[in-house]
Each structure stands twice: as structure tokens, then as C-alpha cells.
Amino acid sequence: MQNQNELVQALSKMDGKPYPAYKAIKGSYQYQDFELSIDHVQGDPFAIPSKVRVIIPIRTAGFPEDTYHNDCRKVALCDFLARRFYHSIKKHNTQREGSGKSGVIEIDRPGQEVLKTSSMVKKSGCIEARFLVGLPAFGRRIAGRIAANIFSEVIPHVVNDSLYFRELPEDELYRHIETVEDAEFIREKLSESGWIAFVADNAVLPRASGVDPLPLRSERLVPFESCQSMRVSIELPNHGSITGMGIPKGVTLIVGGGYHGKSTLLNALEFGIYNHIPDDGREFVVINADAVKIRAEDGRSIQNLNIDPFISNLPFDQATTTFSTANASGSTSQAANILEALEVGASTLLLDEDTLATNFMISDPRMKALIAKEKEPITPFVEHVRRLYEEKGISTVIVMGGSGDYFSLADVVIGMIEYVPHDLTAQAHQIVKDNPSPQDFDIVSPSDIQRIPASGVLNASKGKRPIDIKIEDLLYMRFGVHKVQVAAVEQLVHPSQLRAIGYAIHYANRYIDGNRSIKEICQLTLADIRQNGLDCLSDREARGDFAEFRSYELAATINRFRALRIEQRC
């Protein structure tokens, strides 16, 4: 293995040569305390920057064992280091010269959530940082002296500033790790406590804006405070005893007037599947890991799905047990989204009336009197929600400000009044007694039919490229010749999750054999990732732009391929 000085000398000698001469630096180099590996060299200054790794033994880095002795702490440590690395780049890489992406140094930027990623990993007793470096050039001539400075000065400063325990603020590091560990502790305790979610007192639920996930900073901000009847306490390993609202299993309604915080509470629960960084405001807003947000999604593709539990008796004898369409309506897409989530194992459904199909949720007595039951294909969700819990153990949280049809079915009714929750369960149930309405519910339970994708259909190749997977923020995935719209998969929070899902679908082709169900394919793929890490998704060099995801988002993306072909199996 060559050393740092040899790399710097080689770069200096390349000054002024044609850009392809950079290919000679691919390989590993020993620095004083760490190894630097240049895994891929870009072919052009305007191309995607070169892939670089820094590998440092964790003992050399000096991290105490209690910062990584369990999986939760290991993820939190790597997340903290990735954030530190990102900010250190901003601090030390201040002068950029040259063409295209010359001098760029990038690491996958973390968000408000603490995710297991491939940008910073601990394995084989080492910390490994994966990042991109834009090898500098003027035109298409190598700027060797600038490159030499990047590898001799800038990168060593970034590494020293972010990957050595002695250089880090110890109190911030441990606070980060302990916050994540405590949130995970709450999640593990939910089921045995009879809850689906916990919202800590003094949590800050509102975000700065619809496109800014930072906490709202305002003099009018109302921190969350549980109503007394739902207040519970929990003893955390690191933060001690905290109080907050325990939302029980069953059917929960969140009601209230417009702009009083109903959707804000649901949004916090929606992203409670993730752990959050300190000072996010939602550090201890936690929901079970199998909670799935449901919405209507006009125009989505549906392939061979049994929607009969919700939609049947279609005109012209259209099949509903093997239903397919390239352009689903709001109600049909919402039915499909629920059934597909349950197919993969969702235990909690989250719904907000603002993004739902009204005719799927309710049908009042007057409309039933006008449109005879045999002429209405939709069995509204109100006729299913109770049975889902009592027979399947599926809990539901619904934001519903415009209809009281769910009052008699709810275990808990939370009223949001000026951003403060109130327990309105007794009042809602009394209203039902005082104003009874006839309910003619003919409830059908969702089926257990398995759906089997055909093999060879989800091909990521395009032209001469065996794998061509690109993402457009969290809106679309380009997968070979396919374009998949995923904007309605609302619990994805980071582009690297969607990128990893794309590569996971390519990887999962080994299991898509015409015999395995979507659920089985997702389970096998996720099991391989748990055992071998996110690196198993890439056939080539290690990547630093993958982030963990759930089986629900993987299945949801697969289900949105218009080329998907499905068979059913009982």
C-alpha cells in the first residue's frame, strides 16, 4: 500500500495533464492514523465526483465502548459522526477552483431523523466514512497542485475534526446517543404498555414550514401537553422519568376545528417511526415501527389486488377480487393503499381527512337513502375500522374534523383546541346516545390472499447500462426504462432511502421467481440487509448514499410499477 506522501507527489506531477490521467490514483493509501481509499475515479470534471473512503480503527479514533456497545448506540454514533463530518467539510473546504465539480467534497447530509446509512459505518473494528471528492481541473486539464492540497490538507483536517473522540464535544455526543437510545426504549415498551404511540409533554410538534423540517420557532408556539386522563409516565434509561400522552391500541379519533393542530399531531405521529436528533422537538414522539400513513392517490397503478373488502359490485361485472387499473380513483387507490399495507404486516393505520377520499370514509343516511346499497360499490371505511381492530388487531388513528360517524366506533377521541389536546371521548359517546343514527353495516374482513409478482419484469437495465437507477428527490424513481411515482409514499424522509429502495428492488430480483409473495420478497431482502448491511445492495464499490427503509415503503414502491404483473395465491 502506498502512503500519503506518494499520493500527494503523484497528484503534483499530474498538474496540467489530460483529465483521464487521474485514473492512476485509484487505490489505497496509508496516512498517519487512517487509510484513505479512492474507489472510483470520475472520468470528467463535470461527472459525478470520485468515491473516497476513510477507514480508521475505532481504538485509534479513541471511542469508548459505551458509545457503540449495542446496535442502537452504534447507529447513533455513526449518525453523529456523519453530521460532524458534513459540517467539518463546510468549515475546512472553503476555497474551490476549477471547472465543473472541481474541489467539491460531499457526504450524504443527514436530516432531522437518525437513520442507519452507508455514509458512515462501523464494521470490522473500524469507523468508515464514505464521501465524494470532485478532482479539480481547469477545463479538462488536471489541477494537480489543488488536488494535492485537498488530499494533504483539507481531508486530513476534516478527518481530525470529526472522527477522533478527543476532538468531539463529549457532552453533545453522549446526549445524541442517549436521546436515540431512550426513544428506541419507548418504542420497545409501547406494545406491552397497551399503547401504539407516546407523545412527550413539552414536545414541539409544529415544523417551520411545509418544506422545512426544523422545529417551529415562534412566540406563539404551544408545546404539547397531554390531557390528564391520558397522561402516563415512563422511566427512561438515560433521561429518567418523563410524562406524556399514551395513545392506546384501538381506534383513535383526532378532532377539532381547522388550524387547531389536528394534522400537526398526526404528522408528528407519522414520523414517530424514526428516532430524532436532540432539539428536534419530537425526540420522544414515538409510534410503533409498523405504523403506515394512508392517503388517496388518484391515478396510481394497481395490479391484481383483491379490493372486494372495500369495493365490490362494479358496473359491467368488473372483477374486484382480481382488480387491476392503470388509473385508480381516489377511493380505489385508498382501498389499495390500505390493503397493500396490511399485506406486508402493518399494525397501525394513520389517516388524515385532508388527504382522503370522502366517499371511501363515510356515507351518511341521506346519501344511502338516495343511492341504494346495491348500486353503491364502496363499503366505506367506517364499516371496517372496528372489525379491523377486534379481529385483526389493526389499530387506526384518524384525523376527522368534518363527520361524527366514527364517534361510536372510537375508543378514544382527542380534541385539539388551540393546539392543546383534550379527552372528548365521553362527550362524543354521549352525543351518539343522544343522536342515534341507523347503521346497517355488512362488514367484510380483508382477505389473506397472497400476491405473487412475475419474474423478469422489474429490470433496472437501460441501453448499455446493466443498472440505471436515479431518483428525483422523493417524487420519482427512474428504474431502467421505468418511471415510478412515489410522492404519496409519505413516510420516506431522505432521498437516500428512495435510492436504497431502488437498488433493493434490483437486488430482490433474485427472490422474484414467480413463487414468492411481495411480503416474502420484502422480508428476505430486509433480512439480507440486516445481516450484511446496506452494502449488499451494490454490486460494485461501497456506496455512501444509501439509508435504511422499511418493508412498507419497499412494497409500496414495487406496487407502483406500472409494468408489475401479479398473480394471486390463496
On whether both 276 and 362 belong to a single domain, the answer is yes
Query: Which tens digit of pLDDT belongs to each residue from 403-424?
Result: 899 999 999 999 999 999 999 9
Among 447, 473, 507, residue at a domain's last position? 447
| In a domain? residue 174 | no
| Whether residue 262 has pLDDT greater than 90 | yes
| Residue 209: alpha-carbon gap to chain centroid | 19
On whether both 351 and 273 belong to a single domain, the answer is yes
CA dihedral in degrees (514, 519, 520, 524; nearest 10)?
120
Confidence at residue 381, expressed as pLDDT on a 0 to 100 scale: 95
| In a domain? residue 181 | no
On whether both 432 and 461 belong to a single domain, the answer is no
On whether both 454 and 318 belong to a single domain, the answer is no
| Whether residue 439 has pLDDT greater than 60 | no
| In a domain? residue 284 | yes
- Would you state the cell numbers that stand for residue 287, as one nine-digit string? 409510534
Confidence of residue 374 (pLDDT cuts 50, 70, 90): confident
More confident residue, 442 or 448: 448
Per-residue DSSP letters for 264-299? HHHHHHHGGGSEE-TTSS-TTEEE-TTEEEE---TT
More confident residue, 368 or 556: 556
Query: Which tens digit of pLDDT belongs to each residue from 203-243?
Result: 999 999 999 999 999 988 999 999 999 999 999 999 999 99
| In a domain? residue 232 | yes
Confidence at residue 71, expressed as pLDDT on a 0 to 100 scale: 97
Among 447, 472, 487, residue at a domain's last position? 447
Task: State the burial class of residue 533 (Cβ atoms within 10 Å of its Cβ: 0-12, 13-18, 19+).
Answer: middle
On whether both 462 and 441 belong to a single domain, the answer is no
Mean pLDDT for the stretch of residues 344-360:
96
Mean pLDDT for the stretch of residues 294-310:
96
Alpha-carbon gap, residue 553 to 498, rounded angstroms? 9
Helix (H), strand (E), coil (C) string for 471-495: EECCCEEEECCEEEECCCCCCCCCH
Q: CATH number, domain at 251? A: 3.40.50
Tally the residues of the chain. 570
On whether both 424 and 507 belong to a single domain, the answer is no
Confidence at residue 368, expressed as pLDDT on a 0 to 100 scale: 77
| In a domain? residue 474 | yes
| In a domain? residue 268 | yes
In sequence order, the β-bridge partners of residue 253 are 398, 413
Q: How many angstroms separate the Cα of 539 from the Cα of each of 158, 507, 531, 536?
A: 29, 9, 16, 7
Among 447, 482, 500, residue at a domain's last position? 447
On whether both 468 and 430 belong to a single domain, the answer is no
| Whether residue 426 has pLDDT greater than 50 | yes
Question: Please, what is the average pLDDT of the chain?
Answer: 94
Mean pLDDT for the stretch of residues 418-445:
80
On whether both 312 and 399 belong to a single domain, the answer is yes
| Whether residue 437 has pLDDT greater than 70 | no
Confidence at residue 308, expressed as pLDDT on a 0 to 100 scale: 92
Amino acid letter at 442?
D
Confidence of residue 569 (pLDDT cuts 50, 70, 90): confident
Helix (H, G, I), strand (E, B) or coil at 336: helix
On whether both 225 and 237 belong to a single domain, the answer is yes
On whether both 428 and 472 belong to a single domain, the answer is no
Alpha-carbon gap, residue 158 to 162, rounded angstroms? 6
**Selection from 500, 490, 498, 495 nearest residue 533 by Cα:** 500
Plot region of 202 (φ>0 → left; ψ -120 to 50 → alpha; else → beta): left
| In a domain? residue 173 | no
| Whether residue 483 has pLDDT greater than 90 | yes
Q: How many angstroms separate the Cα of 244 from the Cα of each of 19, 110, 119, 169, 175?
A: 60, 28, 34, 30, 20
Confidence at residue 139, expressed as pLDDT on a 0 to 100 scale: 93
| In a domain? residue 315 | yes
Structurally, the chain folds into a number of domains equal to 3
Confidence at residue 394, expressed as pLDDT on a 0 to 100 scale: 97
Mean pLDDT for the stretch of residues 123-135:
96
Confidence of residue 436 (pLDDT cuts 50, 70, 90): confident
Query: Which tens digit of pLDDT belongs to each residue from 79-88?
Result: 999 999 999 9
Element (H, E) at 551: helix 551-559
Helix (H, G, I), strand (E, B) or coil at 444: coil
Confidence at residue 445, expressed as pLDDT on a 0 to 100 scale: 55
| pTM reported for the whole predicted model | 0.95
Question: Can you tell me which residue has the cell 378532532?
Answer: 255
On whether both 436 and 477 belong to a single domain, the answer is no
On whether both 93 and 218 belong to a single domain, the answer is no
Query: Which tens digit of pLDDT belongs to each residue from 390-405?
Result: 999 999 999 999 889 9
Confidence of residue 540 (pLDDT cuts 50, 70, 90): confident
| Whether residue 442 has pLDDT greater than 90 | no
Range of the domain at 64: 2-168
Amino acid letter at 428?
A
Confidence at residue 440, expressed as pLDDT on a 0 to 100 scale: 47
In sequence order, the β-bridge partners of residue 255 are 415
Query: Which tens digit of pLDDT belongs to each residue from 184-207?
Result: 999 999 999 999 999 999 999 999
